[in-house]
Chains A and B, each alone.
Chain A
């Protein structure tokens, strides 16, 4: 009796060393070893900064020096300062651009998903801009839009007179459209590749059956392609909304935000790093994040309720 109790105790109270050698111990060890580095990185470069940013947004502060708690003043400024709020309106241009970009991508993806001679080549040409770095794109388009240079020359070939053409990057009525154009140029090929991937994942037999039934291209598009890629299409529409709110690269590298081309992010960057109003810039960032979260939650709800019938 006494002996068996002793054994039971021994079994329950394995030494730490023994426990480490067991499968359970090993599991915990592997778990810790594999999780610790990514989690530290995630904390240090995402969650701590995130918390700091929210905190900063209530202070009047620079990177170095005294900080003063100002409550919601920074948030009020975001909506009352002309440069901040005006920049939010600019994102409407980028939203318009993303509509053009997505429809263009869908159109070209549909063409390329049928048999086309040299399809891979065309696809490659249109995708390549996505792989060019932002600074290079900035230079390419500064050059492209310069008075009398590439774009003007091509338009002159088409019969336009140089005197009638605007200054693409200076003229306030057109410069934002020029910049949105560069962003469409950069991303339409990438969207197209995504759509082709989605179209290809639709079962081939469906097309064959449709062909046999005499469905034309447009009917195939409407009844086979569209339902097949609905999910990824809606996802891209929503991504493009948050993308246009956070449009940054074209104005940052091409015009540096001059002549009324400063989008929200460009203004924020300028306020944070040139004017060093870190509190105000943080408040701007938080406002933007809230908008993006709202859009994302709406997207989640949309998928949950509208695609329910599709899943059943």
Chain B
């Protein structure tokens, strides 16, 4: 290898790492500055620049205050209830729908697929104008079950992940089970459901993060902020008179993103693969 080639290669490598470090810095800076501020006492926050490190990394006062002021204990309970119900319910109806659409030929199969595809193109926020009226008529406003149902109804991407997965389950499995006299219910629950596990885990993680972070509909349909706040909407407490106490706000923000961070660290692979497979079909 000639010297000029070596130099060229060195420059490319340097450039490569420089861009990675730079954009990682850009991605992390806003969050890290929040962490720094969250550990500062009121006095420190008033008197030091935001990028100066806090005196003590063990000053958890802001976190405790933010947690109590925003009623995050209650919010975590609500978010957990919503999460468990939405995931359970949408997994059951999603896998069942995918099973029927993939395994049965019947008039309307294509139509139903297209109806779901078309629904995924409608932008959610625009649709909330009439949905609000329907929620009002159904007496679903300020009801946790109502919010849970509307969250399940707007789930489309997961169905594509499941259908894709069904395509890879050998149909001879079904046939031999039919010969053995198994009913369709048995085939679905005993044979397909266990095989679908990786797809279910993937779409539950994606749906779970989405549900946990959802705030537009939560804000609109769970207006009783005292009893029905989710973690995302509980942060609204900091709009208004507390709006300039950023050490408190940052602590609240950090608390709210901890669960997502934990899920991310433990399930990185599933998140990436779920996103990729969802995007190709959807």
Residue B241 interfacial (CB < 8 Å): no
**Whole-angstrom CA separation of A135 from B184 in the bound complex:** 45
* Contact A111-B129, Cβ < 8 Å, known A42-B153, A124-B268: no
* Contact A126-B104, Cβ < 8 Å, known A49-B130, A143-B37: no
Asked whether, in the complex, the Cβ of B24 is within 8 Å of the Cβ of A34, the reply is no
Residue A189 interfacial (CB < 8 Å): yes
Which of B34, B126, B264, B280 lies at the interface centre, i.e. has the most chain A CB atoms within 10 A of its CB? B126
Residue B257 interfacial (CB < 8 Å): yes
Asked whether, in the complex, the Cβ of A131 is within 8 Å of the Cβ of B264, the reply is yes
Residue A31 interfacial (CB < 8 Å): yes
Please give the number of chain A residues whose Cβ is less than 8 angstroms from any Cβ of chain B in the complex. Answer: 85
Residues in A neighbouring B116, C-beta threshold 8 A: 42
Residues in B neighbouring A150, C-beta threshold 8 A: 29-30, 33, 50-51
Residue A102 interfacial (CB < 8 Å): no
Asked whether, in the complex, the Cβ of B100 is within 8 Å of the Cβ of A289, the reply is no
Residue B125 interfacial (CB < 8 Å): yes
Q: Would you call the interface of chain A mostly helix, strand, loop, or mixed?
A: helix
Residue B201 interfacial (CB < 8 Å): no
Asked whether, in the complex, the Cβ of B24 is within 8 Å of the Cβ of A126, the reply is yes
Cross-interface CB contact of A133 among B24, B122, B232, cutoff 8 Å: B232
Cross-interface CB contact of B129 among A46, A139, A272, cutoff 8 Å: A272
Q: Of residues 21 to 76 in B, which have CB atoms within 8 Å of A's CB atoms?
A: 21, 23-24, 26-31, 33-34, 37, 49-51
**Whole-angstrom CA separation of A193 from B270 in the bound complex:** 12
Please give the number of chain B residues whose Cβ is less than 8 angstroms from any Cβ of chain A in the complex. Answer: 86
Q: Would you call the interface of chain B mostly helix, strand, loop, or mixed?
A: helix
Residues in A neighbouring B188, C-beta threshold 8 A: 30
Cross-interface CB contact of B23 among A48, A108, A273, A293, cutoff 8 Å: A108
Q: Which residue from chain A places its CB closest to the CB of B24 in the assembled complex?
A: A125
Residues in B neighbouring A63, C-beta threshold 8 A: 132-133, 136
Asked whether, in the complex, the Cβ of A111 is within 8 Å of the Cβ of B213, the reply is no
**Whole-angstrom CA separation of A131 from B131 in the bound complex:** 26
Asked whether, in the complex, the Cβ of A139 is within 8 Å of the Cβ of B249, the reply is yes
Asked whether, in the complex, the Cβ of B235 is within 8 Å of the Cβ of A153, the reply is no
Asked whether, in the complex, the Cβ of A131 is within 8 Å of the Cβ of B30, the reply is no
Asked whether, in the complex, the Cβ of B275 is within 8 Å of the Cβ of A194, the reply is yes
Residues in A neighbouring B257, C-beta threshold 8 A: 131-133, 136
Q: Which residue from chain B places its CB closest to the CB of A236 in the assembled complex?
A: B279
Residues in B neighbouring A154, C-beta threshold 8 A: 29, 51
Shortest Cβ distance from A260 into chain B, in angstroms? Answer: 20
Residues in B neighbouring A146, C-beta threshold 8 A: 246
Residue A168 interfacial (CB < 8 Å): no
* Contact A46-B153, Cβ < 8 Å, known A35-B112, A289-B123: yes
**Whole-angstrom CA separation of A142 from B178 in the bound complex:** 61
Q: Which of A2-10, A68-76, A172-180, A280-288 contacts B (4 or more CB under 8 A)?
A: A280-288
Asked whether, in the complex, the Cβ of B100 is within 8 Å of the Cβ of A134, the reply is no
Asked whether, in the complex, the Cβ of B27 is within 8 Å of the Cβ of A133, the reply is no
Asked whether, in the complex, the Cβ of A269 is within 8 Å of the Cβ of B127, the reply is no
Asked whether, in the complex, the Cβ of A143 is within 8 Å of the Cβ of B260, the reply is no
Residue B200 interfacial (CB < 8 Å): no
**Whole-angstrom CA separation of A120 from B238 in the bound complex:** 35
**Whole-angstrom CA separation of A164 from B172 in the bound complex:** 72
Q: Which of A50-58, A77-85, A90-98, A205-213 contacts B (4 or more CB under 8 A)?
A: A50-58
**Whole-angstrom CA separation of A292 from B249 in the bound complex:** 37
Cross-interface CB contact of A136 among B50, B129, B253, cutoff 8 Å: B253
Other CB < 8 Å A-B pairs besides A42-B115, A148-B49, A185-B27, 19 of them?
A30-B100, A41-B153, A45-B153, A49-B129, A52-B134, A107-B19, A128-B31, A131-B263, A140-B34, A193-B272, A193-B276, A194-B276, A197-B272, A246-B125, A246-B126, A269-B125, A273-B220, A281-B129, A285-B126
Q: Which residues on B are within 8 Å of A, measured CB to CB?
A: 12, 16-17, 19-21, 23-24, 26-31, 33-34, 37, 49-51, 93-94, 96-97, 99-100, 104, 106, 112, 115-116, 119, 121-123, 125-127, 129-134, 136, 149-150, 152-154, 178, 183-185, 188, 209, 212-216, 220, 231-233, 235-236, 238, 246, 249-250, 252-253, 256-257, 260-261, 263-264, 268, 272-273, 275-276, 279-280
24 CB-based A-B contacts, threshold 8 Å = A42-B153, A45-B153, A49-B130, A52-B133, A108-B20, A122-B20, A124-B268, A128-B264, A133-B212, A133-B214, A133-B215, A133-B232, A135-B256, A141-B30, A143-B37, A153-B51, A185-B27, A188-B23, A194-B279, A197-B275, A246-B123, A265-B125, A282-B129, A289-B123
